Amino acid sequence: MSTHYCKSADRKLANMSLMLTRRGIDPAEFAREVPAVAARAIMTCQQCAAGDVCRDWLARTGPGIERVPAFCPNALRFEAVT
């Protein structure tokens, strides 16, 4: 596995964790409470082509978001958890 791929995967996981946190969902609790949903969310995030868009959006957005943005393929999944 290339270093670039690993860094990209790490960034996407960090994006997902921050997106959950900003939505008011504790990432560790999410993984514990609904492990199958969390595993699918991680796979979806890793395959997402909007990683840079996500990172930029998170950088411009403060804490506490009402809705996960439409570009996120996990938006409905995260909305269903809250």
pLDDT tens-digit map of 8-36:
789 999 999 999 999 999 999 999 999 99
What is the reported pLDDT for 4? 60
What pLDDT, on the 0 to 100 scale, is given for residue 9? 84
pLDDT at 1 over 60: no
Region of 62 on the Ramachandran plot (φ > 0 left; ψ -120 to 50 alpha; else beta): beta
List, for residues 48-78, the tens digit of each pLDDT value.
999 999 999 999 998 899 999 999 999 999 9
**In total, how many domains does the chain have?**
1
Range of the domain at 70: 3-81
pLDDT score of 46: 95
